[in-house]
Amino acid sequence: MSWEEWIKQDAVALAQLIRNKQISPQQAAAQAAAAVERLNPKLSAVLEVYENTLEDIHVDGPDKKGALYGVPMLLKDLGSSLKGRTQEAGSKLYRNRVATSTDPAVENYLRAGLIPIGRSTTPEFGNSFDTTTDYLGKVLVTRNPWNLDRTPGGSSGGSAAAVAAGIVPIGTSSDGGGSTRIPASFSGLVGLKASRGRVPQPLAQNEYMSRHTIDGVLTRTVWDTAAIYDYLTDIPEGGTFIPMGAPAESYLSLVSRDPGPLVIGLSTGRWGRGTDTVSEVSERVRVVGALLDRLGHRVEEIDDTRICDWDAMWDGYVTTWISSNARLRHEAEQQGINPSDLENYVTPIIYRHYLAADRYDKYDVWRAMERNNQVTRAFGRFMSRFDLLLTPTFAIQPQLANGPYSLLRDQELDPWVSRLCDACRYVMPGNETGMPSISVPAGVDREGLPIGVLLHARWGREDLLLQIAAQLERWKPEWFEAFPPIHAGI
């Protein structure tokens, strides 16, 4: 397949070509690997290509009957893992760690017929939207194919850069504070964070101990996201505390038709933070709101101070986020590392997270759970007035790669976390409450960098998010079909 043809194929289209025997799965995997070889020196998005997969695409057991059989994908180096494959979470603490089991989400990808051909970069433990590491003996900066000076976002930055550049049509993600939706926004992609309980957790996790994080994918089209979620939402018995049941209808069939008229709230407010959203980002949200209004939906700008007690939201989220780093003591001891030596095994900002975890005791964690209950119910009352809520995905534009949000910086923790929360104000509440939301492309800014907008829905309404996203894709295909300056077709 020519490179011009390659970049035109999303996963659904590529799977159809494979079914029609116009290209073989082996050829698709080889072409993706060739794209890695061509573009990764510029992007630093891919840590490893699985050479034995290129020799035998069935080595990890993809289902030949899956609707996406033969389509190559990348696995994020964090989150759900594949047995026998290295997963290091971007950290020296986990250097050369090999997964001993396959997590249910990855089993679902294999059931869809997808072919994992390698793994993509992530910042250490996914704790930033700047995908930069130094645990491999050098500083590795993942770069945005729209502008190599900028980050593609994170923590699923490697997947985002590779998908945006046309290396593969799908990269896996995980989202504990925006790590699917932020790189989608920065890289001109589609990124859905499903409701808590909708997607299976890794075997070592559950919604109580890790309520913020949920796995997902980054794609170039809504069709691909829908097709993958038809498989991804399958949860084994006992695999969740929040059984939601299977979706009532195939997501892929749903996205072929528009939703009925919806009531959509619109907000570009501060959401409890101390800074305003960048005006160019806010303007783009209003452009999307005006389009939705023309399409027959009722769009109403809302007062964000009425959504919830924002002090409670941020206190609960940050308490859980920082206190959870106490686990690093246990992780170090399990590997025979003295916790007093952790500074030599993690990046400066992660080490400051670890030290700060000692601020919190069991009463603080209990208070954070009370806050979660308070804030989640407040969001529930607010969303009872609306079908969807439209906001920016991110409050600022794509930042410098290895810039002020890099984990390699030796900065005081509290100001760093505060700036991160300012920027991530629209994505983090969804992790705290478990609400679903989807980031979709909405054009580019004056510098030619993508801007994403975020649509939030009530719990369990991924179907509605995918339908409205598909409607936008039909009316504004240029937002979804744009390619960055660095891509496989060049």
DSSP string, 97-115: -B-SS--HHHHHHHHTT-E
How do strand 298-301 and strand 263-266 relate by DSSP bridges? parallel
Q: What is the dihedral of CA 32, 177, 407, 348, to 10 degrees?
A: -130
Average pLDDT, the chain: 97
* Whole-number Cα distances in Å, 407 to 3, 131, 150, 332, 396: 36, 9, 15, 19, 19
Q: Do 432 and 317 form a contact (C-beta atoms < 8 A)?
A: yes
- At residue 226 the predicted structure's pLDDT band, cuts being 50, 70 and 90, is very high
For residue 238, which of 104, 102, 435 has the smallest C-alpha distance? Answer: 104
Q: Render pLDDT for 342-384 as a digit per residue (tens, 0 to 9).
A: 999 999 999 999 999 999 999 999 999 999 999 999 999 999 9
DSSP secondary-structure letter at 153? -
For residue 110, which of 70, 51, 78, 76 has the smallest C-alpha distance? Answer: 70
Mean pLDDT on 235-251: 90
Mean pLDDT on 256-261: 96
DSSP E strands: which ranges in 121-242? 132-133, 140-141, 170-175, 190-193, 214-219
Residue 207: the pLDDT is 87
Q: Which residues have C-beta within 8 Å of that of residue 88, sequence separation ≥ 6?
A: 47, 77, 94, 95, 96, 97, 135
Q: Quote the crossing angle between the two packed helices 222-232 and 104-111, to the nearest 10°.
A: 120
pLDDT surpasses 90 at 309:
yes
Structure tokens at 51: 């050479």
Residue 248: the pLDDT is 87
Nearest-Å Rg of the Cα atoms of the chain is: 21
Residues 36-56 as b/e (b if ≥16 CB within 10 A, e otherwise) read beebbeebbbbbbbbeebbee
User: How would you class 100 by CB atoms within 10 Å of its CB: exposed for 0-12, middle for 13-18, buried for 19 or more?
Assistant: exposed
Distance CA 82, CA 253 (A): 29
Record the pTM: 0.98
Q: Render pLDDT for 419-468 as a digit per residue (tens, 0 to 9).
A: 999 999 999 999 999 999 999 999 999 999 999 999 999 999 999 999 99
Q: Do 299 and 293 form a contact (C-beta atoms < 8 A)?
A: yes
Q: Quote the crossing angle between the two packed helices 11-19 and 222-232, to the nearest 10°.
A: 70
Distance CA 444, CA 484 (A): 11
